[in-house]
Amino acid sequence: MSNRSQAIADILTRAILDHRLVPGCKLGERELSEVFDVSRIVIRQSLIRLADDGLAQIERNRGAFVARPSMQDAMEIYDALTLVEQGVAAQLSDRLGPAGWAELRQHVERQRKAVASGNDALADVLGQEFHTVFVRLSRNKVMQEIHAQLVRRTTLLRSLITADFDYCNLLDDHAKLIELLEKGRLKPAMELIDAHHRSVVRGYIMDRQVFPELTPREALEPYLDGKAGEPPKPAPRKKAGENGGARTHTHVHVVK
């Protein structure tokens, strides 16, 4: 019953990251205010939050739209992400204790089990979380927030991408990264991070016109449980027929 605008901003963020609201989609104040059953002012505040986070773009007297990053933006975001993760890697290789390395290994192990048991959805989530855990071990909330924001923007980027991915050696990458860092082999570790992100961004192909398949009303419907808590994460699937290979995942490798 409080901070409605923050709660709604969170829901919108979730919907964007789930690719239910695609880049370029109009976020009309009136429509959203009806969807969420709040006044326009609350929606406006939510949209301001989204814009500050880089997920929405507000054009004067034209309204808010889901951000549509350019190819240039994509490269810059991945550059920044690489820079941050390399920096964190350097810190961790110096400062992380055995418990930290153990936590990372354990995380990889959980993901390995998920993959082995064919639970792709869980493997996806764990793969995403690896980087978050990685940065959290730096024990720096400021860095965590910066990193989280960058990750959100990469997730948004994935709405714009048409490419065939495979799920080959993600775990190997993570495991190898841990191994290199723990041994203090910083340079190869940083090159691994860089190569990883580079290969991802190289595979990006921007579709210039992304057409909103769902209206905001349709897209947001699963998140509205009559003002109750979170919905149990609805399937963000698009039409399974076409680009079924382009699932959402932080760690994607491009088929060359």
Partner DNA sequence: TTCTTATTGATTGATATCCAATCCTGTGTT
Partner DNA sequence: AACACAGGATTGGATATCAATCAATAAGAA
221 touches which of a copy of itself, DNA, none (CB within 5 to 8 A by kind)?
none
- Site of interaction with a copy of itself (CB under 8 A): 2-3, 5, 41, 44-45, 48-49, 52-53, 60, 73, 76-77, 79-80, 83-84, 86-88, 91, 140-143, 146, 150, 153
Distance of closest approach, residue 216 Cβ to DNA, in angstroms:
11
How many Å apart are CA 76 and CA 9, to the nearest integer? 25
Q: Is 75 exposed, middle or buried (0-12, 13-18, 19+ CB in 10 A)?
A: middle
Q: Which does 209 bind (CB under 5 to 8 A by kind): a copy of itself, DNA, none?
A: none
Binders of DNA among residues 15 to 44 (CB under 7 A) are: 28-30, 37-42, 44
CB of 18 to DNA, least distance (A): 22
Quote the CA–CA distance of 159 and 157 in Å, as a whole number.
Answer: 5
The pair of three-digit structure tokens given for residue 238, joined into one six-digit string: 């698009």
φ and ψ at residue 64, rounded to 5 degrees: -105, 145
Q: Is the CB of 43 or the CB of 88 nearer to DNA?
A: 43
Nearer of residues 87 and 212 to a copy of itself, judged by Cβ: 87
Residue 198 lies near DNA (rule: CB under 7 A): no
CB 65 within 8 A of CB 25: yes
Closest C-alpha to 246, from 65, 59, 236: 236
DSSP string, 105-134: HHHHHHHHHHHHTT-HHHHHHHHHHHHHHH
Question: Which CB, 145 or 218, lies closer to a copy of itself?
Answer: 145
30 binds, among a copy of itself, DNA, none (CB under 5 to 8 A by kind): DNA
Summarize as ranges the residues that interact with DNA (CB under 7 A).
1-5, 28-30, 37-42, 44-45, 58-64
